Structure formats: C-alpha cells, structure tokens
C-alpha cells in the first residue's frame, strides 16, 4: 500500500513540475546570437545611413524593408547579449555583470535611431523639402527623447562589445588572436561610420557577428544543467 501511495505522490509531483524547456531556450539563444550583427553588417554594406532622406526618396520600398530588418536586428542583439553574458557569468561574474549592464541597455537604446528614420520617412511622405526635413530632424535630435538614447547606444554598444571581447578571452571562450579582433570590431564600425566606408563597416559588424557565432557555438555545447537549473515542482494549491 505504501508503495502505491509513494508512486501516486511521485506522479502528482511530476505533473506539477513545469516542462523542461532549457534545451529549446538554449538552442534558440545560440541561433539568435549572430543574427543581429549579421543583419547590420549587410545593411551597412548597402548604405552608410548618412543620407536617410535621399535614400528614402530614391527607394521608398527598400528603406521600408530596411527599417523592418533594423527592428529584427535590435531584438536579436538584445537577446544575444543576454545569452552571451549568461554563458560567461559563472566564470567571471563581476566582469560579466558590468558587461551586461552596459551592452544590453545600449542595444535597447538603438531603437531611438528608428525614431530619426521615422522623422525622415514622415518628411518625405508629407512632401517636405530637404532643408525642412533636415531642420525637423535636428530639432527632434536635440530633445532628450532621442539624444539621450542615441548617446547611450553609441557609447554603450562600443564599450560593451570591447568588454564582451575581454570577457570572452578571460573566460577562455575565444583564442587571444580572435578575441582581440572581436574586441576592436565595433571600433572599426565607428571609424567606418565617420568615414562613410560601407565595406569597412561590413567588416566591423561581420567580425562582431562571427564572434557572437563563436560564443553561440559554446552555448550549443553547454549542457542544460550547466546552462541553468532544472525546473522545480510548483507548490500545491492549498485547499
């Protein structure tokens, strides 16, 4: 009788335990990690983004599609940064925490750039000339709703990737030679942005994408029990 009771209790406990979805979340995270930088690498290769108004006038449908790809990149960047930091947290908790605290909000703040693109899009759609569009964009950029997050993005994502590269080398998830390339990849992007050099920007973001792919490969190789703790049974409802 006691054996039957024990088995029944074990069955009820098992029914109250959430499904173990750690592998699904881990594999999804690994796949997402290089997606954001890879999207931005190709977007920057086909336009440096320095003349959004003229680009919209020349190819409205292309710029509409590019804006959607930008949002997909943003969501992937945020998830990828969280996964990368989570991967290395146990080996270097302080550095990983600082890296995540800088890189994650920086990627979230990237959404402010879409506000500026939206202003240019609206200017074209309403028939404003180039001078009026530029004046509107400058006035909007001066406000904190755009200036502050753009500043956070620019400073934060470059600093964050530098720290992420140092973190990857310190935790031995990357060899030194490639870790150094990964660390300076967003500095290359910055130089390419100011210089208006699309192919160099492609190299910068492309190197970031490869680095995130390397970290994603380590995520795939990480056992579920090391990646995160197993789900536990939910407490039974009181009668």
Give pLDDT, residue 119: 79
Give pLDDT, residue 77: 96
Gap between the Cα atoms of 56 and 119, Å rounded: 11
pLDDT tens digit sequence for 108-122: 999 888 777 777 877
Give pLDDT, residue 113: 82
- Determine which of 46-55, 62-71, 116-125 has the lowest per-residue pLDDT on average: 46-55
Give which of 178, 184, 185 is closest to 202, Cα–Cα. Answer: 185
The kind and range of the H/E element at 193 are helix 176-195
Q: pTM, whole model, 2 decimals? A: 0.83
The answer for residues whose C-beta is within 8 angstroms of residue 111's C-beta and 6 or more apart is: 71, 74, 149
Distance between start and end Cα atoms, the chain = 25
Domain residue spans of the chain: 23-225
Q: What are the backbone dihedrals phi and psi of residue 234, each rounded to the nearest 5 degrees, phi first? A: -75, 145
Task: Give the helix, strand, coil percentages of the chain, each rounded to 5.
Answer: 80, 0, 20
Cα separation values, 115 from 20, 160, 200, Å: 39, 23, 26
- Per-residue pLDDT, averaged over 42-65, amounts to 72
Give pLDDT, residue 231: 83
For residue 50, what pLDDT band results from cuts at 50, 70 and 90? low
CB 190 within 8 A of CB 110: no
Q: Where are the alpha helices (DSSP H) in 59-143?
A: 60-88, 93-109, 111-125, 130-141
Q: Taking 60 as the threshold, does the pLDDT of residue 1 lie above it?
A: no
pLDDT tens digit sequence for 154-164: 999 999 999 99
């Amino acid at each position: 009788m006691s054996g039957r009771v024990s088995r029944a209790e074990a069955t009820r406990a098992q029914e109250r335990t959430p499904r173990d979805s750690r592998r699904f979340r881990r594999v999804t995270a690994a796949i997402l990690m290089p997606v954001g930088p890879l999207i931005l690498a190709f977007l920057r290769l086909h336009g440096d983004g320095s003349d959004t108004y003229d680009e919209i006038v020349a190819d409205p449908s292309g710029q509409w599609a590019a804006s959607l790809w930008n949002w997909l990149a943003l969501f992937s960047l945020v998830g990828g940064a969280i996964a990368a930091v989570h991967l290395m947290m146990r080996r270097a908790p302080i550095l990983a925490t600082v890296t995540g605290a800088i890189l994650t909000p920086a990627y979230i703040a990237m959404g402010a750039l879409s506000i500026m693109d939206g202003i240019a899009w609206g200017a074209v759609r309403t028939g404003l000339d180039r001078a009026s569009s530029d004046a509107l964009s400058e006035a909007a950029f001066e406000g904190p709703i755009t200036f502050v997050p753009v500043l956070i993005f620019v400073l934060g994502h470059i600093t964050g990737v530098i720290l992420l590269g140092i973190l990857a080398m310190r935790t031995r998830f990357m060899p030194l030679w490639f870790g150094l390339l990964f660390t300076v990849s967003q500095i290359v992007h910055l130089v390419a942005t100011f210089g208006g050099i699309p192919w160099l920007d492609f190299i910068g973001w492309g190197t970031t994408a490869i680095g995130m792919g390397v970290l994603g490969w380590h995520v795939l190789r990480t056992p579920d029990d090391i990646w995160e703790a197993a789900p536990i049974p939910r407490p039974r409802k009181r009668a």
